[in-house]
Amino acid sequence: MKFSDIYGFEGEKKRLIQTVEENRISHAQLFLGPQGSANLALALAYAQYINCENKTDGDSCGTCPSCIKYEKLTHPDLHFIFPVAKVREVKDKEVSSKHSFYLGKWREALLEKNYHLSVGDWYEKIGIENKQGMINTNDARSILDTLNYKSYEAEYKVMVMWMAEYLYHAAAPRILKILEEPPEKTLFLLVANNSDQIISTILSRAQTVKIPRYGDKALENYLMDKLETSHDQARRAAQLANGDLLAARRLVQTSEVEEFNFEQFRHWMRICFSADFLAINEFVGNIAKMVRERQKSFLAFGLDIVRKSMLLNYSGDNVVRLSDMENKFVKDFSPFINEKNLDRLYEELNQAIYHIERNAKAEILFTDLSIKVSKLLHAGKS
């Protein structure tokens, strides 16, 4: 991927290019950006630029042998580590991202999604269902084995660790030394969404490159060019996506998940407020059947509705971006969201997402959460 293939982020591109031109390439860098940002795309464009054999003015050429292999994600000196879990297609006892099944799916996913990928997209691609992926000790061992070899043809060997938050705590000590003192001409690029979830000893050994959200104009141009969306549709999706390219793409491609989340969240809030425990029990039974990423998506949607309700209360209509389906509900719901319950609602919904990631039993989690939400909604009313 060339820098010019990425919409926006001109300041970030310029700073990355300067590190190469001024010979200031840090051997371990963390590309830190929220979900739906260009953190992975920029990391790959940076690696391609570093190893390009015929750099142009501020970008890789895209046509030299190195660039061609980078574009296909098949360069022998470009390596990837990402969270995986055991699947039936992998018969080996060890689960490793070096396995041809995972690598094949990884390349497919990146090229299909234009280098913008969510954890949910990845899990669906490899079919791990309700399992939680991780970067395990076998992957850490493969990092050491790979980076201790000499490069095949490029000036720099590049190891990209996607979603560094998923590095298992027992695996981290194995790679600390190579992160701190890598072999010569080795580049370690960590890509992550949340620095708070990265093991501190890993975080302290990497130079952080902060990647912001997309600007609305960049998202509009992406949607119109890549998805052939009309200008009006692209503008509306960009406004609603709040700088998240993945959300903008979903809004354009399909509204089914958002509509489902909205209908379910509206129903959930109503039965929680009315303390209808028979209905709550039925709701919990239905949502417990969903895969974990869908459960997390539902709760994340709920967090967004709470945020919009709070903004509506304190800032008014001109600040809040609401879709047509959200408009009436949020205006009716917002009076129940205030200083009496806002912090606790945020905390409980975030904690639920945290526990789902760690394989909490969904029936217990959503039953407990529904009781707490019921109490908090009444606290906001009083």
Alpha carbon distance 281, 13 (integer Å): 51
Contacts of 185 (CB under 8 A, 6+ apart): 151, 155, 156, 157
> Residue 284: is it exposed, middle or buried by C-beta count within 10 angstroms (0-12/13-18/19+)?
buried
> Residue 95: is it exposed, middle or buried by C-beta count within 10 angstroms (0-12/13-18/19+)?
middle
Inter-residue contact 190 to 206 (CB < 8 Å): yes
For residues 258 and 244, membership in a common domain is answered with: no
For residues 145 and 176, membership in a common domain is answered with: yes
Return the amino acid letter for 132. Q
For residues 157 and 237, membership in a common domain is answered with: no
For residues 183 and 260, membership in a common domain is answered with: no
For residues 146 and 268, membership in a common domain is answered with: no
Q: Domain boundary at 212, 240, 272, which? A: 212
For residues 345 and 369, membership in a common domain is answered with: yes
Domain assignment of residue 370, given as a range: 254-381
Tokens matching residue 177? 């030394």
For residues 260 and 229, membership in a common domain is answered with: no
Alpha carbon distance 309, 208 (integer Å): 33
Return the amino acid letter for 156. Y
CATH number of the domain encompassing residue 33: 3.40.50.300
For residues 234 and 348, membership in a common domain is answered with: no
Inter-residue contact 335 to 296 (CB < 8 Å): no
For residues 42 and 164, membership in a common domain is answered with: yes
For residues 205 and 217, membership in a common domain is answered with: no
Overall residue count recorded for the chain in this entry:
382
Tokens matching residue 351? 């904690």
Q: Considering its fold, how many domains does the chain have in total?
A: 3
Per-residue pLDDT tens digits of the chain, which is 382 residues long: 999 999 999 999 999 999 999 999 999 999 999 999 999 999 999 999 999 999 988 899 999 999 999 999 999 999 999 999 888 788 765 556 678 889 999 999 999 999 999 998 899 899 886 778 899 898 999 899 888 888 889 999 999 999 999 999 999 999 999 999 889 999 999 999 999 999 999 999 999 999 999 999 999 999 999 988 888 888 888 988 989 999 898 888 765 577 788 999 999 999 999 999 999 999 999 999 988 888 998 999 999 999 888 888 877 666 577 777 788 898 899 899 998 999 999 999 999 999 998 889 999 999 999 999 999 999 987 5
